[in-house]
Structures are given as C-alpha cells and as structure tokens.
Amino acid sequence: MNKGISTMSWWRARRSRCATASGSSSPTTPARYRSKVRNHVLFEHPASFDTVVMEPGKRKENLDELDTFRRGKEYYANVGKAWKRGYLLYGPPGMDKSTTVAAMANHMDYDIYDLELTTVKTNSDLKRLLIETMSKSIILIEDIDCSLELIGKRKQMSKKDEEESEKKKLPREEKDESSRVTLSGLLNFIDGLWSASTGERLVVFTTNHIEKLDPALIRRGRMDKHIEMSYCSFEAFKVPAKNYLAISMHWTF
C-alpha cells in the first residue's frame, strides 16, 4: 500500500488510503494551516529492518515489540492507556537513526508526520497539529535536542543566570520568547489528554546528544523504548557487507 510524507509544520508520509481527492481542508482547520495540512509526498523509502545496521538480537526484539504493539488495542483499552508508544533513537551522527524510522514505517505500514518543531509558534498550535493526525502513524521529531531551547537548559541555568538573562531581553525578544513551544507544551503533546485523540500511533524522537535532553522528556512511560544506535559490532557489520558488497559468506564469518 502506498505511503507518503506531508506537512503541517511537518512533512507527512502518507498512504494512498489516507489521501484526499482534493486540496480542501476541514472547516475547523485554522486558516494559516489549510494550505499545509493536506500537502504530502509519496513515501517510497526502501529501508527495512533487513537493511538497517543493527545487532541481530536487537533487530528481532524491535520487530517483536512493534508487532506486539500493533496487536495491542485490547491491552491498552484494558489498562486504560492511550494506544501509543514512544521511541527514543540516540547515538552519534550517521548511525541509521532516520533509516530506522523509515524501516519502522514500512514494517508497520504507517504514515509519518515529520514535525518541524521550530516552526510551531505556540503550545495551542502544537495541540492543533496533534488533533490533525490520524491513526496508524508515526510522529517524528528529529534532532530533538536542537528543537526546543528549554530542553537541558532548564536545569543548567542558575537563578543568577536567569536574572541576568531577563535583564538583557528586549521587549520584542520577550514577545518572541512567548511565542515558542514550551517543554510543558511538548510533554502534554506526548502524553497529555489530547494525545489519546487517535489510536495506534508511535512517537519517535532522534538525537545525537541524549545527555542534553531533559529527563522529564525521555523518562520511561513517555519514551517507552530507548534504542542506542552506535558503532556496529562484527555481527552488525555483516549487514552492510551483504547489502553493499554482496558478501554473505566469508572465512571471517
């Protein structure tokens, strides 16, 4: 089934079953979003878990958990939780984090909402975007450590630093600051009341610097699964050796 990526302040990878026949939008959609909400590109990324460089045991574990989640509607209803799951992919640059997200979307046959968090002006706008999403989708925020200035800095600034920072602000800067999404707004986006507005959804963050993230953002329960994407072991190296060089048998194997 075809999928694709669209934008609302995000790009959205959409499947053909979700595509609209026209470019019209819901009457309840704010005017500034109407031209963006339905735009999308066809998602044709070829990644699969067979092409992602990952330890065989970790690959099987992740596939099993995704399949369990897909069958989990009754379980989540029984425990009174929204049918969603959070993933944090972290590690050095170039370690297949984005490719893993594409593999997840292909395996689950999900849409992808690629959220450009820096373009969202207020917490209310963020909530509107959440309401626009559909089930069977992945909400993706890449490089989350670069997307929200409050992350990490909240615990680093001393009271004196905060006072000095406030003194240096100009009136216009204060206005700009008030128009940004806050950490609290993002937390509510992930698992607040409105996060249960649609079912069967994954929320995925990627980062190169997990140490910069506020613990409240990535605690278990919000980001249920932390996956470290790091330099590959010998077993993981067999994947690119096979895919790039067509080497599946070698005396070192």
**8 Å CB contact between 42 and 97:** no
Residue 201 lies in a domain: yes
> In 3-state terms, what secondary structure has residue 205?
strand
Q: Alpha-carbon distance 65 to 70, whole Å?
A: 9
In this prediction, residue 93 carries a pLDDT of 96
Residue 238 covered by a domain: yes
How high is the pLDDT of residue 175?
44
Residue 251 lies in a domain: no
Domain membership of residue 162 as a residue range: 3-245
Q: Residue 131's pLDDT is what?
A: 87
Considering its fold, how many domains does the chain have in total? 1
Domain contains 27: yes
Q: According to the model, what pLDDT value does residue 14 have?
A: 61
Please check whether residue 253 lies inside any domain of the structure.
no
Among 217, 208, 153, residue whose Cα is nearest residue 187: 217
pLDDT in the model for residue 181: 86
Instruction: Give the CATH number for residue 70.
Output: 3.40.50.300
pLDDT at residue 10 in the model: 53
> Would you state the pLDDT for residue 30?
37
Spell out, as residue ranges, where the chain has pLDDT lower than 70. Answer: 1-39, 149-179, 253
Q: Give pLDDT tens digits for 5-64.
A: 544 555 566 654 443 323 333 333 333 333 344 457 778 899 999 999 999 999 999 999
So what's the pLDDT on residue 12? 62
User: Which uninterrupted H or E stretch holds 4?
Assistant: strand 3-6
3-state DSSP call for residue 134? coil
Q: 18, 116 in Cβ contact below 8 A?
A: no
Whether 64 is in a domain gets the answer yes
